[in-house]
Structure 1
Amino acid sequence: MRTTPPLVALLAATALVLTACSTGGSSAKQAGGGTLTVLTPSSTLLLDPASSQNLATTSLSFLDRRLTTWDVKQGQDAKVVPDLATTTGTASDDGKTWTYTLKSGLKFSDGSPITSESIKYGIERSFSDQLQGGLSYHKTLLQGGDGYKGPFDGKQLASIATPDSSTIVFHLNKAFGDWPWIASMPAFSPVKESNGNPAAYVKAPITSGPYKVASIKDGTSVTLVRNKYWSKKTDSVRTAQADTVVFQESQNQTTTVQNLVNDTGSYKTAFGAQYLGAADLATVNGNAAAKARLSTSQAGPIQYLAINTQRGSLKQLKVRQALEYAVDKKAYLVASGGSNAGTYASTLITPGIAGRQDYDLYEAPETGDVAKAKSLLASAGVSGLKLVLLTQNDSASLAQAQAVQQGLKRAGITVTLKTEDVDSFYKDVAVSNPTFDLSLSSWQPDFPSANANISPLFDSSQIGNGNFNVSQYKNSSIDEAIAAAQAEVDQTKAQAQWAAIDKRIMADAPIVPLVYAKQSFLHGSGVGNFFIPSFPAYPDYMTLTLTK
């Protein structure tokens, strides 16, 4: 997803990884019917898939199906699987053309058929200026996408062909082996043209998933009821066991946690959509029954120290390598909340991503290797190094920045902290030629591929213009390797390529991997099959059950 401030939760911008702890109640006898309640601090549930960055396994999975979706299980890498389509896609033209055939009998919540034309229209809507904020990978990959402005003026995108009502063909401007993952994103949900006006859609969407919208109370709740036209026979992933799903919006996190700890009334079949902070964890861990209903990831989004590779002494590899050894990762983790907050990181590809290889090019104690850092600085002819570290001005980010500052000080590196509010921070880290030396960042991929770990952060085309190559990292051979891995349709071969790229980039030391963030979620005793998968490190809404 987007870079996120360390340990600051934005509902759709957090993630975790690997298997969860005890989930409580999952082995109990399942019961049909009932109401599942999702407690969220968000004041608005974004219902329009064209403007959503929603994970394939969370909120909109109740309402919308896509061509493909994610199959996530405890302790296993996420897989892309067919959803509306019969396969995850058939590639031709060396990966530049992808063809899908729809399953038979698919219907919208109003009983009308879901067709390839409705999927094409749903994707075309996402190009409109009236619908902004959604994931945009397809916009740069589809031929002609750069100049297309959406269907509301009657124009269509020629690179999406619908030769018949059950076939849809995508023509890309370059080979892209991860297209099956792209086809699982929100914009690939079918939308009826008669329902496509943005203002009308959000008030009464005609849906393709197991539920439809029954009522919307702005800032308070969204209530979903069963879509009688959804068929489990065509949907191998979603359980859709509850009769009703209620999103309770604008929830105070402290109150949410306390209600779930008490586990009474409707809170028995509820869960919190935001991960727990340190104070919340203390509350839960003080109650044995609640602690048994806590799910915690073993690893998650990578938090890292970005090094401005185009600035001053940091242009020298040995200086950047010195930072790898000088950082005190233990102090950073303590400042973040200790072992409950994360596990130490050393790779760019995060746990739970298929093909990831575990390695550490800068092996050192958790507190660092100050002598090694000093030796590298001396070898580079650098002394009295002074750096500016950009960080956010909230207390959590400041504590983490101070931990980095103190760690580097041991190696004779003076770090000055420059603090900014969250909006200013994200604006300043995403420009070309920034005026800082270091910054603290966090990243969760938008889809379970190393491509989404590496390309946004280290491809030179992603420098500035609001993009996320915060390190200003430029390496033409890496750019070529990224392009080759993206074009590889054989995912086994692609994964080997990404693993090699991971190590090559870390040899250049553009960042210091700090931790893979852990996150914890709490649920009521009546919610079953509640777990944190390998990816995303977030509850899988699609497979939740209600238990007796």
Structure 2
Amino acid sequence: MAEPARSRHLPVPARRVAAAAAVVLLAGGVTACGPKDSSADGGAGATPHKGGTLTVLNSEPQTNFDPARLYTSGGGKVPSLVFRTLTTRNRENGAAGAKAVPDLATDTGRPSKNATVWTYTLKDGLKFEDGSPITSADIKYGIERSFAPELSGGAPYLRDWLVGGEKYQGPYKDKSPDGLKSIETPDAKTLVFHLRKPEGEFPLLATQTQFAPVPRKKDTGTKYEEHPVSSGPYKVVKNTGDGEHVVLERNENWSQKTDEERHAYPDTVDVRSGLDSSVINQRLSTGSGADAAAVTTDTNLGPAELAQIGNDKELRKRVGTGHFGYTTYLAFNPKVKPFGNPKVRQAISYAVNRQSVINAAGGSSLAESATTFLPPQKSFGYTPYDPFPAGRTGNPAKAKELLKEAGYKNGLTLTLTHSTAKNFETSPEVATAVQEALAKAGITVKLAGLEDNDYKDKTHSIKDEPGLFIGHWGADWPSGGPFLAPIFDGRQIVKDAYNFNHAQLDDPAVNHEIDEINKLTDLDAAARRWGALDKKIGEKALSVPLFHPVYKRLYGKDVKNIVISDWDGVLDISQVAVK
């Protein structure tokens, strides 16, 4: 996820779940969250009850409410209250929340021996908001309409994975009664998916909103977002200002008996978006009126707010801590001199001062120092390693030694490309910290700051990609697959559009191992293989991992039952209750 979690498959306006900056942790720690339905003093863990209105204060507007156009994956954000999918994430804190569990389906899917065919059976008693039954045909149609060009924006993995998906143009253009033939519905409760290649992580993909059911007769094309038909605990009763004000009320035909993951405690969910982040944090801090029962799903605390919170015991209790699979790193393009020389890349790896980089991003508690490309969560297959151990502050002497071996005994001059946007991943401050560290190893770094859109276009173009730039990537679901494959699979190099394989690595052994891991339906075994592959790639010095972020978000004083999983590191809106 290059921006923040984009892969080759992702469109340019990728989702922004990780776009906001992580922030400095509070001295002395904070209360993060308690288990679902926990009983403890204070708002976070107090016994939840039904009723009341939950207010959501967000920076990014919910610009559409069409499941075909949403880029969400099993997360606990606002759309998950309206759209159910075949599977969803386990709504638990931390690592336990990084697993897929059944949602509309009775299980997470039954694979064929080679994981190219996946079969699902729907639960009994599933209904839309109008009381009509949810059938396999509704889910098939919901997926098919996500292929329509006019409904672009959602995750496009199915176009690559499903047999015939690369040519299918959706039901508006394809009028054949069978639709996309690689999705079979032998009866009203069964779906069978035929894939082009083995995909052991299909249950994780099935959390995407493209798997939400859509009744064909209620489909109004591009206007469907104005009143989508709910399959979840809430229905949309108001959507104004292009998503700036969305109001959800209970879907009376939703049954808790069929949905073990969502609690739907509040009667109403009132979503206000397009707000300035400082305003959001101030309102949550003050907690006046409706803001006492408010949360945010996209806005982190900033340094000013943290200074205030650090001196306020009650506010410190209302800070949730989350981890999302995300890495900021230096990216090398070996096609550009001198980065084709591995000794040069290794020298830079030794020269980097990660502590100064983290300080530039906001402080030592803002992020976790990274020596691995994979984030430090078990679900990704995280395997601790450091192929070029230089400590937290770097090893300039070792870097100089390698430069000499590479033929640069008098040092060299390089250009580092970065974005001028004020975000924590590629900020000018981070670039300056890298510049200063490399100077100690005899490497003169010229900074090339670009406006954010120009930065994205240049760094993702095979033709224009610089030799050295600050990159960032996050996963579409918690696994090493959507983390390593888009960046290092040679078959995903894109020559005429957005390319994310910055090193243009096309190693048959790496490609083969990716295929072999994708065959595994035992995701714990697959995770171990992803970790081993991460180490193998890391030894090639094609990137320099810098840090993994930590998220800090405030919630209102009357909000209870805070659940934050390692799936996306944000508060799960489907679990909260209000006083």
Shared fold by TM > 0.5?
yes
Partner of 1:162: 185
Partner of 1:411: 441
The match for 1:495 among 527, 537, 541 is 527
Moved more, 475-484 or 97-106: 475-484
Partner of 2:340: 315
Offset, 1:112: 0.7
Q: Larger % of helix: which? A: 1
Task: Please tell me whether the aligned partners of residues 346 and 514 of structure 1 are also in contact (alpha carbons under 8 angstroms).
Answer: yes
SS at match of 1:324: helix
Q: Which amino acid aligns with 1:225?
A: E
RMSD: 2.2
Task: Please tell me whether the aligned partners of residues 325 and 373 of structure 1 are also in contact (alpha carbons under 8 angstroms).
Answer: yes
Partner of 2:484: 454
Task: Please tell me whether the aligned partners of residues 460 and 498 of structure 2 are also in contact (alpha carbons under 8 angstroms).
Answer: yes
Q: Which amino acid aligns with 2:17?
A: A
The match for 1:359 among 372, 381, 385 is 385
The reply to whether residue 400 of structure 1 matches residue 430 of structure 2 is yes
Task: Please tell me whether the aligned partners of residues 20 and 298 of structure 1 are also in contact (alpha carbons under 8 angstroms).
Answer: no
The reply to whether residue 144 of structure 1 matches residue 164 of structure 2 is yes
Partner of 1:429: 459
SS at match of 2:129: coil
Task: Please tell me whether the aligned partners of residues 431 and 463 of structure 1 are also in contact (alpha carbons under 8 angstroms).
Answer: no
Offset, 1:11: 4.2
Offset, 1:425: 1.1
SS at match of 1:37: strand
Moved more, 486-495 or 215-224: 486-495
Offset, 1:2: 4.2
Aligned mates of 2:221, 2:559 — CA distance in 1: 34
Matches within 5 A, 1:154-233: 154-155=175-176, 156-219=179-242, 220-233=244-257
Offset, 1:534: 2.4
Matches within 5 A, 1:279-358: 279-297=304-322, 300-354=325-379, 355-358=381-384
Q: Which runs of 5+ in 2 are unaligned?
A: 6-13, 34-41
SS at match of 2:503: coil
1:435/1:47 CA distance change after superposition, 3 Å: closer
Aligned mates of 1:21, 1:381 — CA distance in 2: 53
**Deviation string, structure 1 residues 83-142 (Cα, Å, up to 9, x no partner):** 000010001151110000000110001111100000000000111100111111111000
Task: Please tell me whether the aligned partners of residues 68 and 85 of structure 1 are also in contact (alpha carbons under 8 angstroms).
Answer: yes
Task: Please tell me whether the aligned partners of residues 321 and 376 of structure 1 are also in contact (alpha carbons under 8 angstroms).
Answer: yes
The match for 1:51 among 57, 69, 74 is 69
Task: Please tell me whether the aligned partners of residues 298 and 343 of structure 1 are also in contact (alpha carbons under 8 angstroms).
Answer: no
Partner of 1:39: 57
SS at match of 2:448: strand
SS at match of 1:340: coil
Aligned mates of 1:10, 1:270 — CA distance in 2: 23
Partner of 2:39: none
Q: Which amino acid aligns with 2:134?
A: I
Task: Please tell me whether the aligned partners of residues 46 and 561 of structure 2 are also in contact (alpha carbons under 8 angstroms).
Answer: no
Offset, 1:311: 1.7
Q: Which runs of 5+ in 1 are unaligned?
A: none
Partner of 1:129: 149
The reply to whether residue 237 of structure 1 matches residue 261 of structure 2 is yes
Q: How many equivalent residue pairs? A: 544
Task: Please tell me whether the aligned partners of residues 294 and 559 of structure 2 are also in contact (alpha carbons under 8 angstroms).
Answer: yes
Q: Which amino acid aligns with 1:460?
A: G
Offset, 1:20: 7.7
SS at match of 1:190: coil
Aligned mates of 2:67, 2:274 — CA distance in 1: 21
Q: Which amino acid aligns with 1:177?
A: G
Q: TM-score, normalization: structure 2?
A: 0.90
SS at match of 1:163: strand
Task: Please tell me whether the aligned partners of residues 55 and 271 of structure 2 are also in contact (alpha carbons under 8 angstroms).
Answer: yes
1:14/1:237 CA distance change after superposition, 3 Å: farther
Task: Please tell me whether the aligned partners of residues 335 and 403 of structure 1 are also in contact (alpha carbons under 8 angstroms).
Answer: yes
Offset, 1:349: 1.6
Offset, 1:180: 0.6
SS at match of 1:168: strand
Matches within 5 A, 1:519-534: 519-534=551-566
Task: Please tell me whether the aligned partners of residues 31 and 320 of structure 2 are also in contact (alpha carbons under 8 angstroms).
Answer: yes
SS at match of 1:104: coil
* Regions of 4+ moved over 4 Å: 14-20
Q: Which amino acid aligns with 1:148?
A: Y
Q: Which amino acid aligns with 1:87?
A: D
Task: Please tell me whether the aligned partners of residues 350 and 453 of structure 1 are also in contact (alpha carbons under 8 angstroms).
Answer: no
Identity percentage of aligned residues: 38
Q: Which amino acid aligns with 1:489?
A: T
Aligned mates of 1:298, 1:245 — CA distance in 2: 25
Q: Which amino acid aligns with 2:249?
A: V
Q: Which amino acid aligns with 2:416?
A: L
Partner of 2:571: 539
SS at match of 2:282: helix
1:14/1:79 CA distance change after superposition, 3 Å: farther
Q: Which amino acid aligns with 2:520?
A: E
Task: Please tell me whether the aligned partners of residues 391 and 425 of structure 1 are also in contact (alpha carbons under 8 angstroms).
Answer: yes
Aligned mates of 1:87, 1:304 — CA distance in 2: 37
**Deviation string, structure 1 residues 511-531 (Cα, Å, up to 9, x no partner):** 111010122111001111224
Q: Which amino acid aligns with 1:186?
A: T
Q: Which amino acid aligns with 1:365?
A: G
Moved more, 118-127 or 55-64: 55-64
